[in-house]
Amino acid sequence: MTYSRTPWLLLAAALILAAIYLFPLYWMYVTSLKGSSEIYANPPTFWPLSPDPGIYPDVWARRTMPVYLWNSLLIASGVTAITVILGTGCAYVLARYRNAWIDVGLFCVLMLQVLPASVMVTPLFVGFNQVGLLNYPRTAVVLATAAKAMPFFVVLVRATFMSVPRELEEAALVDGNSRVGAFFTIVLPLARNGILVCAILTFMTAFGEYIYSKSIIQSPSLQPASVGLSGFLGPNSSDWNAIMAYAAIYVTPILAAFVILQRRIVAGLTSGALK
């Protein structure tokens, strides 16, 4: 009897934890629809008494949201493209070849994963200044963020390549195919779900990048939405419904993309992408 109840107890616990984790998201949307007086009401209301969706077009126009979102999209797309193109080849080499140098390379990749962006931003800023990349701040942010995302991508995609049987490549080589041809015709199609999942995770992470953008990009017309949100904050911030509306506009595209791509994400997870 106790054993039969265990799955239901685990499910209930998972739902409770999910509700706790998602409550700030719900509170963000609810607060964005409240009036100024209702936001400070005690006890708080868990649903706006007089919802006012007019704050959304106001924030959209007043805070130049299209510019910020476009910059976020450019940075995230650039980071994802660089990471996928370079990281896929690196992950394949680390998965298929084993020697002392490969082990050293894998160790270095794992060590890079533990370095926080807050530690790396100063040396990167100095280095970019020396080579003149600060004149192209969005490009500098893309390169810095791609370098930060690369170890995570390589480690996960390497696991995907290791789940592809070597015998398939050996059969292609026996049939006269080259190593490169076997990679593109045999290995890559079988690993596409895992690569896609990692690419989606990389894009979502890069879309919310803040530290490098805040430190490197000085012009508001080039800053992403994460930096634009910090413009609301200050010692006397009180426009909470506008702040929450901005955050809702910023977060909703990512949530929508996740909902649309959830089937592929689950397929990638079950194919061994995150073993």
pLDDT at 88: 92
Tell which residue, 139, 149, 121, has the closest CA to residue 205. 149
pLDDT at 82: 95
What are 73-131's pLDDT values in tens digits? 999 999 999 999 999 988 888 888 777 787 787 787 777 777 777 788 888 888 888 88
Enter the DSSP assignment of 269: I
What pTM was estimated for this model as a whole?
0.83
Asked if 253 and 179 touch (Cβ cutoff 8 Å), the reply is no
> Residue 211 and residue 62: Cα distance in Å, rounded?
24
Low-confidence stretches of the chain (pLDDT < 50) are 1, 273-275
Residues 6+ apart with CB under 8 A from 22: none
- What CATH class has 23-33+53-273? mainly alpha
pLDDT at 271: 56
pLDDT at 1: 47
Mean pLDDT of the chain: 83
